[in-house]
Structure 1
C-alpha cells in the first residue's frame, strides 16, 4: 500500500502507538495519533514523539470529517479487534493493520516469530541471544517490549529479527509471514478478550497462516491444540516433546535431550545433545522452551555447537521463575509473569521445597482447578490478593487446601510470607492472574516483590 501523504489513524498512545507513528512518518504518511481517553493532555502525548515526527494528535472523539480522509487504521494491541471504532472503519472497507503487520510491510531480512500462552518471553530471549552470538545484524522485538515498528526502518537484507508475538498482535495480521514460526503451547488465557478457546487457538494459529512448505513451524507435541494444528499447518512442522520419543524432532528422555532427523542432524536418527543439568533455567517448562529454541535455531542454520554454547550460558528471564535471593534460609522466587493458571502451574512445579505461594489479581475469566491440583502438597501456605481472591479461595477449599490467608494489599501479603516461611522453605510470587487493578503491569509487581526481598 502506497501511504505517501495519506492519512493513517493510529489508535492508542502507548509504546506501540508511538512506534507506529514513527514508522508511518518514516514512510512518508500523515499519521494521526488518536486516543479516546479525554484525561490525556495533547502536550504530554506529543512529548513522547521525536521533534522531527509531525503527527496530528486527537484526544476524545474523532471528528467525522477526519474519519472520511483515513485510508488505513493501525490499532494498538490493547484495542480489541471488535471494538466499535474499528468495526466502523471495517464496514466502510478501510483496512485495519496492527503494528506487527505495519512493521512487516517495511522490514527487511529474515523473521522468526514466536507465540504461545506461556514461555514466549524466555524462548524469544534465548533465540535472540543465539542469533546475536552467531549473526551480525539481529533485533529482538514485539511483545517483549521493543516495538517491531521501531526497528523496521533499520533492518537490512541480512538482518535476523526475532519477534515475540501475542494473540492481541496476531488479531490484526494480514500478509505477515515469518520464515520460522513457533507456537509453544495453547492453554486458557485472555478469554475476556477472545471469548472462547476456539477463537483464542485460531488467533494463535494465524502466526503460520501465510507460511508455505518452504517455511518452518515449531510446535509442542504435548499440547492438544498445537499437536492438532500440526496436521493442517501449511509450513514444514518440527515437533518437540517433553514426554515421548519422536522419530523426527527434539525430545526429552529422562534427564537427557535428544534430536532426531532434523536440521544438521538429518543423517542421525537419534542423538543425545545435552542434559537438563547443562542449563541454568529451572522447571520442565524451561526444558520445553529450550527444545523449541534449538529447533528454531537449527532452522536458521546455526550450528548445533553454537546453539548449545549459548544455552549453557543463558540465565533466566526477569519475572519468570526468577531466583531473587535467600534470606534467613528462605529462597525467594519472582514469577510475576505467571499471569494465567497454566503459567503458574509451571512455577509451582519448579519448586522443590515447601512453598509459601502468593496468588490472585485481575480476573481474566480463568478457571483455577488445574493450578491448585498442581500444588501436590508443595504449598504450605496460600496467600491471596486482588479481585480473584474469593474465586480462588473457593476453588482451593474444594481441592482440600486449608491454610489460606487473605491479604488486603500486596505489602501485607509480602509480610505474611516472611512470617510464615521458615528456613528451608521457598516463597513464590506466581499469581495465575494479571496485575491490572493493583499494578500497571506484571513488571511493576515483580519489581516490588524483588525490592521487598532484597531489603529484608
Structure 2
C-alpha cells in the first residue's frame, strides 16, 4: 500500500489522515506538539491503524525513518509552501501537496464551486450554499469554513452524507497554492487587496495564486467592482467568463451573461431583469457584490431567478461579519470580528450608521492603513483599542490627526464598557467591533473573539 506522511494534527491534518487511511493508504502523522489533548487525539487515531508521532518538528530528521517507503507528504494550510524542509523533501523525490488536493481526488466526479478572495469569500460561501440548498440541491460547504475539505470527502466516501450535487468550497491562498490541480466547475473571485504578504512576499505573488484557481475554473465569476481584479483581469478574455457589477460600466458591460444592477434597482442578467436588488436584507455595497456573485454562480448551477430571490430574502447573514447583536441604550451594536485587516475593517465602517464608536485591536498585520484612517475621520466619533496592537494602532490614528478620543484597554472585558459609555456620551449611531487585526494575541481565532464580544453585549443589551 502507498505510504502518505501527513504533517500536523489540526483539523486539516486529522481529516487528511482519516481520508487517506480510508482510501487504503498507510498513514504516518507527524506533529510537533505533545499536549494532553494531542495525546488523546493520537490514541484515537492509533485505534484506526494510523501511526502518530508527537513531538516531531518540521525538520528533515523527523521524516528519516519513512523516506524510503513514502510517496507523498500532505501538509496543512498553516505550513508555508516554500518551507525549507518541504523543499528538501521535494528534492528527494517526494510529492508535496495540501489537504485540499487529497479531497479533490476523493471527490472526483462531483462539481466544485471554488470561492476565493481577500474579503467576502466566507459570506459568499454561506450565501451560495443557502441559495443552492433552498433550491433543493445537496450542496455542502467546506474548506476554509465549516468542515475541512477532507472531512467532507470522508463523509461522502463512507456514505454518512448523501452524494452532493455540488461542493461549495471556500479556498484561501494557502489552500490554493498547495492544490494546483483543483479545477472547479465554477470559480468565484470576490476581492483582492494586500493580505498575507508575510507569507507570500509580494502582492503579485498573492494575486497569481488567486488567479490560478480562476484560470483553472470552467466558468470563472469575477467582481468588476473590485479595483484590483478589474485592473488586472479587465481585458481577460476566455470562454465561460462571467462578470458581476453594481454599476453599468466596466468589463463585459454589453454581455448577455453579465449580472448587474440596472437603473430601476433590479438585479439583471444582461438586459433581463431578475429580481429587486434589495432582496438581500444585509447592509453595505460589499453585500450587494456578494449577492451578485452568488446569483451568477447559482444561475450557472441552473437555479431559477425566483428561487434565488426567495433564498436571498430569508438569508440572515454570517456570524462575525457585520453581525447585528441588538442595541444597548438604543444604539445598535455590530460584531465584525472577521475584519482582520484594514480593508475589511474599512468595509465595516462604510456599512453602519455614523457616528461610530469603534473597537479595534489585536495582532496587527501588514497593509495600507490610509483608507481606513480616512474613514475614521469621517465616520468615527471615538476609538477604543485593545490587545497587543493597541499602541501601534494608537500611533497610526494619532499621527493621522484623528480628533476624537482614542482610549486603550488590555482586553475586551475592559474595552466594551468604555465603548458603550462613549457611545452614550456622543449619541453614536452605532458601536462596531471591527478590529483590523488578527485575533491570535488573545484568542485562537476571530470566531472566539467575536463570541466573547457577543457574550459581553448580550449581558447588557436592551430587551
Say yes or no: TM over 0.5. yes
State the alpha-carbon separation in 2 of the partners of residues 328 and 345 from structure 1.
Answer: 25
Instruction: Compute the TM-score of the two structures, normalised by the length of structure 2.
Output: 0.90
What residue is the counterpart of 1:241 in the other structure? 245
The alignment status of 1:96 with 2:86, answered yes or no, reads no
CA 1:400–1:252 in structure 2 vs 1: closer, same or farther (change >3 Å)?
A: farther
The alignment status of 1:29 with 2:29, answered yes or no, reads no
State the alpha-carbon separation in 2 of the partners of residues 42 and 286 from structure 1.
Answer: 39
Cα drift, residue 424 of structure 1: 5.1
For structure 2, which runs of at least 5 residues remain unmatched after alignment?
57-61
Give per-residue Cα distances to partners, 1:199-243, cap 9 Å, x unaligned: 1111111212433xxx21110112233222353475521111134
> Map of 1:283-302 to 2, 5 A cutoff?
283-302=284-303
> Map of 1:317-356 to 2, 5 A cutoff?
317-356=318-357
Partner SS, residue 199 of structure 1 = helix
What residue is the counterpart of 1:185 in the other structure? 191
For structure 1, which runs of at least 5 residues remain unmatched after alignment?
262-268
Cα drift, residue 45 of structure 1: 2.7
Cα drift, residue 157 of structure 1: 6.7
State the alpha-carbon separation in 1 of the partners of residues 263 and 391 from structure 2.
Answer: 39
What residue is the counterpart of 1:417 in the other structure? 419
CA 1:95–1:393 in structure 2 vs 1: closer, same or farther (change >3 Å)?
A: same
State the alpha-carbon separation in 1 of the partners of residues 139 and 303 from structure 2.
Answer: 13
The alignment status of 1:59 with 2:59, answered yes or no, reads no
Aligned 8 A contact 2:381 2:428 in 1: no
The alignment status of 1:148 with 2:149, answered yes or no, reads yes
Cα drift, residue 87 of structure 1: 1.6
Equivalent of residue 160 in structure 1, options 157, 166, 170: 166
The alignment status of 1:258 with 2:262, answered yes or no, reads no
Cα drift, residue 55 of structure 1: 0.8
Residue-pair matches, total: 440
Cα drift, residue 151 of structure 1: 1.9
State the alpha-carbon separation in 2 of the partners of residues 40 and 200 from structure 1.
Answer: 37
CA 1:399–1:170 in structure 2 vs 1: closer, same or farther (change >3 Å)?
A: same
State the alpha-carbon separation in 2 of the partners of residues 48 and 252 from structure 1.
Answer: 53
Cα drift, residue 187 of structure 1: 0.5
Cα drift, residue 130 of structure 1: 1.2
> Map of 1:50-449 to 2, 5 A cutoff?
51=47, 53-61=48-56, 62-107=62-107, 108-153=109-154, 154=156, 159-211=165-217, 215-227=218-230, 228-229=232-233, 231-232=235-236, 236-245=240-249, 246-248=253-255, 249-253=258-262, 256-261=265-270, 269-271=271-273, 273-276=275-278, 278-402=279-403, 403-422=405-424, 425-449=429-453
Q: Which 10-residue stretch deviates more, 391-400 or 13-22?
A: 391-400
Instruction: Compute the TM-score of the two structures, normalised by the length of structure 1.
Output: 0.91
State the alpha-carbon separation in 1 of the partners of residues 269 and 434 from structure 2.
Answer: 35
Partner SS, residue 97 of structure 1 = strand
